Structures are given as structure tokens and as C-alpha cells.
Structure 1
Amino acid sequence: MAILEAPPPKRSGGRGGKVVRTIGELLITAGLVVLLFVVYELYVTDLFSAQKQASAAQSLDDDWAQGRELHPELIDGKAFAKLYIPSFGADYHFTIQEGTDAAALEVGPGHYKGTALPGEPGNFSVAGHRVGKGAPFNDLDLLQSCDAIVVETQTDFFVYRVMPHEDEIAGWADGKGKQPQCAHVGTLRTSAPDGGPYGKTVGREVVLPTQGDVVAPVPHQTADVLPAAQQVALLTLTTCHPQFSDKQRLVVHAVLTNQYPKTPGATYAQLLQAIGEG
């Protein structure tokens, strides 16, 4: 009797299996590319920026040490001041470059061209990266009202303190405003129903990227709302929000509370003792 041979087993998948495997390989490759990009943005750009920051700091120190008067017109991309935030630790310090283009921000925080200079009436405004490229403003959301922000120039230390947050304004005078570090920090509100020119200015806010009026001389107001002589000396720091996204901007407003002319041998450490932060 002839024995029938069983038909060969069918191979599973066929063309459909090849498509699935191809898609899987493409997804794995795409995942690796994304992973490499994240590593590059988080770590490699930090290394590059650290080198550029060290070079900018050394160049600025050399200029100051030699008594070289800085150019009256700030030079794009060139450092002209230093930024310190005591609550971020003794090792937190960055030079501030003129301009907010990509090249300037790869070195460190950048000054919004056309805004006030340190200590001047108006709004000295500075942008910085939150992730990668040194991430100088990574922890900006941790700043609390009355926290100090120090700007050092060739001649002076300027101490700004973060303004009251929106939920602190109503009870400021009888609440946190009584604490020693808040002695010169007010809400800047007037008795007007809208709070006056600074009625929209708070210590921390999140805005859309199109809301460039946060760096106006008086935040959220037109340029003619107050004469320059009546404007308060403010510092505004801006960065992307939330982390790993540029959909919004995190904004911190601080008010000038003290100015200390630099005497020979004056150091930042000595300043911290003077303002009660050391």
C-alpha cells in the first residue's frame, strides 16, 4: 500500500511577517536614534557649553583684572556680567552674554538686547536654557519669593530678590513680607483697582512664547505706561517650560534691593555674608 506523504508545513508569516519584521527593525533604529539624540542634548552639549562658559569667564576675569573698560555698546555674544543664585549652591555662577541667539545661549544665560542693564530702572532681562547646553535655568521653578539673585558687573554687585508669587500677594504685608530677607520686597501694587502699572507683575508666571511683554520695562505694559525715571529696577529670567518642551515660558521677576560697589579684593563670598546668605 502506498503511503501518502504529509504536505510540508506552511511557513508562518510570509510577506506579512517580513513587513512586521521590517517595521520592528525600523522602530528599533528610530528608538536608538532618539536615545542618542537625548544623550547628546543632555550630556554632550553640556560638556561643550561648560568649555565655552569657562573660556568666557576667564576672558571676563582678565578684562576686569586689567581694569579694561568694557565697550560702552555691548558686543553680541561677549560676556559682560556674572549671575549667581545663592539658593542653588555656592558653585552656581554663569557669565551673562549679550544677546539671546543660539550662539550666545550655548555659552550661558543671554541678555535680551535693548532691555535695561544691571541696576538700571526698567527690566534687565535674561534668557537661559533649561535642558542641555549647560542648563543654567534648569531649577528656575524652585526659586521662592525673596530668594536672592546676584548680578556682578565690573564695578558693582546688584542684589535682586524674587517678587511675591501670585498666591502670596493678598496677605504679603502681614505674612511673608515681614521676614527679614523680604524687608525690601513689596508687591509694587498701588491702590488702583487694577493694582497700577505693576499690577500684573508677580514673582513667577508661565506664559506663551509669544508674550514678549514679560521683558518690557514694566512687564505686561506698553512702553509709555511709566516714564523711565519712575520705573522700578527689575530682573527677569526666562526659560522653556515644562522641561524638555518649548511650548511655554517660565518667567521669574525679581526686584533690586541692594547695590554694593566693588572695593579692591571684594569677593562674592563676602557679599553673601553682607546680605545674610552666607
Structure 2
Amino acid sequence: MTVRLVVRTLSELCITVGALIVLFVVYVLYWTGVQADSATAGQLDTLQQEWVGRPVETPGAPRAAPAPAPYTDGRGFAVMYVPRLGKDWEWPVLEGTKARTLKKGLGHYAGTARLGGTGNFAVAGHRRTHGDPFRDFPRLRRGDAVVLTDGTTWFTYRVDRSPYRTVPTDTAVIDPVPRKSGFDGPGRYLTLTTCDPEWGSSHRLVAWAHLDATQPVTAGRPQALDG
């Protein structure tokens, strides 16, 4: 009788544990993606609404350069496109890299350069879960375009090398001039980072790019997005 009770208890425990594992896998593989889709769409809509009616630069017209507003922690300020990662790949960029921020989109490392500014504009994103923004990160190659807009200007960066693998403690990858990037002096750079391996976080993948071109949004979409 005692043996039968023990076996039955263990069987029920195994079934319960198995059900919990299945629910966890569903949460990781599916539900975080659903949440990310909703959060990302909300961020993109918010940015579009903020940009409507904002004064934009007219090609060839002189304009005063207003002092840029500081980025606000957890709030979106730009949209990123990477054609290599998909025709419809479009993600908001928010200030900060806290866990709750990266559930809504890509995160700008606070303290690194502003978008288009001198220095290193560094951005992090999930490889898997929460929409899988950088799932295909290893596909990036030299010359690939990374295009961003802040609602008034398009910024086109060009990747300088295939992704570099390092450890999480290697924070020098987001220095103003990362020593392993191949850049030989100050410039207008972009760093993208994500986790590696695909379902782990023991390492990081890093891609470095330089600012190749800018144009006002009134001039239309950059050729890099249409070609």
C-alpha cells in the first residue's frame, strides 16, 4: 500500500513538473513574442504621433540647430531598420538597457553618443524572446546598412565587419572608439550588441558600423531601404 502511494505521488509530481515545463516553454517561445509585438507596435505608434507636426528640415534651406532634448529613460526616440535582417524588420529604439525597456524594443546604452553624433551610438537587443529582434544577428556582413530615423533625419550606417564574439564583461566594445573595431580615431560610430549563443547569454555578439550618410525625412526614404 505504501509503495503504491509513493509511486502514485511520484507520478502526479512528474505530471505536474512536466506541465509546468510545457507552460514555461510556451511562455518563452510564444507569449513573450505576443507581448513584444504589442509593446513594439505601441512604441512605433507613439513615435509616429510625436513626429506628426514636428518641424522638419527642408533640403537646401538654412536652419538653426536647436539644443537637442536629452533622451528620457525608457522612452522611444528613434526607429531602426536593418534590411539584411528582413524586408519588414522595424524596431523602436528606447533609452536605456533595463530588462523592462528591452521588452519593448531595442535599448540605447545610456552614456554613449547620441544618434548621428560624434562618438559611439551603442544599442542592445534580445537575440531570442521578446520578439527575437536580433535572432539573425550573425547574418550581418560588412557593407550592410543600418538605417535609423528620429523623425526629422535619416541616418545610414554601414557595418564594417562581421559580428565579433566576446564576453559580457568586455564593456570596451561600446567605448567611443572601440579598440577591436578597426576604427583608428574619433568618428560617428554605431555598435549593436546581442547575446550568444542563440538561447544563451554566456557571450555577446557585436557589430560595429560607421555613419555613411544623412538626409532629411523630407527628401524621402534612403536608397539603402529601397535597394
TM superposition score normalised by structure 1: 0.70
- 1:244 maps to a residue whose letter is W
Corresponding residue to 1:151 among 141, 144, 148: 148
Query: How far 1:99 moved relative to its partner?
Result: 0.6
Deviations along 1:139-166, one digit per CA (max 9) or x if unpaired, are 111111211111111221111111124x
Query: How far 1:38 moved relative to its partner?
Result: 1.5
User: After TM superposition, what 4+ stretches of structure 1 lie above 4 angstroms from structure 2?
Assistant: 14-21, 68-71
- Alignment map for 1:5-20 (pairs within 5 Å): 15=2, 19=6
Query: How far 1:275 moved relative to its partner?
Result: 3.6
Cα 1:81–1:48 change in 2 (3 A) is: same
| 1:208 aligned onto 2:167 | yes
Name the counterpart of 2:61.
Answer: none
Name the counterpart of 2:194.
Answer: 239
Give the Cα separation in 2 of the matches to 1:214 and 1:124: 11
| 1:59 aligned onto 2:33 | no
Cα 1:276–1:134 change in 2 (3 A) is: closer
Corresponding residue to 1:97 among 88, 94, 97: 94
Give the Cα separation in 1 of the matches to 2:156 and 2:174: 19
> Is contact 1:80–1:95 with CA below 8 Å preserved after alignment?
yes
Structure 1 unaligned spans of 5+: 1-13, 166-203
> Is contact 1:86–1:277 with CA below 8 Å preserved after alignment?
no
Q: Larger C-alpha radius of gyration, 1 or 2?
A: 1
Deviations along 1:109-139, one digit per CA (max 9) or x if unpaired, are 0100010112112111111111111111111
Give the Cα separation in 1 of the matches to 2:138 and 2:4: 49
Q: CA RMSD in A?
A: 2.4
Corresponding residue to 1:164 among 149, 161, 166: 161
- Aligned residue pairs: how many? 215
Considering Cα pairs closer than 8 Å and 6+ residues apart, tell me whether 1 or 2 has the greater RCO.
2
Deviations along 1:181-212, one digit per CA (max 9) or x if unpaired, are xxxxxxxxxxxxxxxxxxxxxxx111111111
Helix, strand or coil for the counterpart of 2:27?
helix
Query: How far 1:87 moved relative to its partner?
Result: 1.7
Deviations along 1:222-269, one digit per CA (max 9) or x if unpaired, are xxxx9xxx51221111111111211111111112211222226x23xx
- 1:126 maps to a residue whose letter is V
Name the counterpart of 1:263.
Answer: 218
Helix, strand or coil for the counterpart of 1:33?
helix
Give the Cα separation in 2 of the matches to 1:111 and 1:276: 22
> Is contact 2:147–2:154 with CA below 8 Å preserved after alignment?
yes
Cα 1:142–1:129 change in 2 (3 A) is: same
Give the Cα separation in 1 of the matches to 2:8 and 2:140: 50
| 1:109 aligned onto 2:68 | no
Structure 2 unaligned spans of 5+: 56-65
TM superposition score normalised by structure 2: 0.85
Give the Cα separation in 1 of the matches to 2:147 and 2:9: 56
Name the counterpart of 2:23.
Answer: 36
Cα 1:244–1:71 change in 2 (3 A) is: same
Give the Cα separation in 1 of the matches to 2:190 and 2:101: 19
Helix, strand or coil for the counterpart of 2:103?
helix
> Is contact 2:83–2:225 with CA below 8 Å preserved after alignment?
no
Name the counterpart of 1:26.
Answer: 13
Query: How far 1:220 moved relative to its partner?
Result: 4.1
